[in-house]
Amino acid sequence: MWVFLATEVMFFGGLFTAYIIYRNFYLSAFEAGSRLLNVKIGAANTAVLLCSSLTMALGVRAAQLGKKKLLVTFLVLTLLLGLAFIGIKLGLEWRHDYLEGFAPGVNWTFHGPDWRHLELFFCFYFFLTGIHALHMLIGVGILTTLIIMAGRGRFSPQRYNPVEVSGLYWHFVDIVWIFLYPLLYLIGGRY
């Protein structure tokens, strides 16, 4: 699984590289774009995701100790928090940005100064958060499977590898967000 995560690092790595380069080319536009995002929602979502990571870690612990009920509870909690994150992301933020006309290629109505580069920022915003959300969705799928398997008592202290591996994946997606949050929301400065 770690090896797979290395693949994932490079997957996001390519995007981050592109982001870094354009940010340096068009600093002011990217900072302006960053200020247009809602930092409160971003921060709240970060907290939600961190919570889910905690519950996931506790879930793995429960599996290690063979506490079936606890495991299912924590997995369900993780799942719910994950869904909450996606809900906030898609339902609140994306919808808001779309309605405001900040969706490049789909609904772009903003034509202030330097809007072309601002659009570029929003491209990256949507690509990065979109691919992240896609990973979350995959994670939700994995969690659902795990919950069903856990409910049927498939795991024991001797055999809980799937839970641990899924945990790694979930934490990784969390880490990606830990970097996305400052890069997208904070880097423009809020002062």
Interactions with other proteins, residue window 81-100 (CB under 8 A): none
Task: Determine the angle formed by the axes of helices 2-25 and 161-180, rounding to 10 degrees.
Answer: 10
The answer to whether residue 80 forms part of the interface with other proteins (CB under 8 A) is no
Instruction: Closer to other proteins by CB, 86 or 103: give it.
Output: 103
Residues of span 149-168 touching other proteins by CB under 8 A: 157-161, 164, 167-168
In the complex with other proteins, which residue's Cβ is closer, 28 or 144?
Answer: 28
Tell me the C-alpha distance between 155 and 60, whole Å: 11
- Residue 76 or residue 178: which is nearer to other proteins going by CB? 178
Cα-based distances in Å from 3 to 9, 12, 39, 165 = 10, 15, 34, 11
Work out whether 133 is an interface residue with other proteins (CB under 8 A): no
**Footprint of other proteins on 26-45 (CB under 8 A):** 26-29, 39, 43
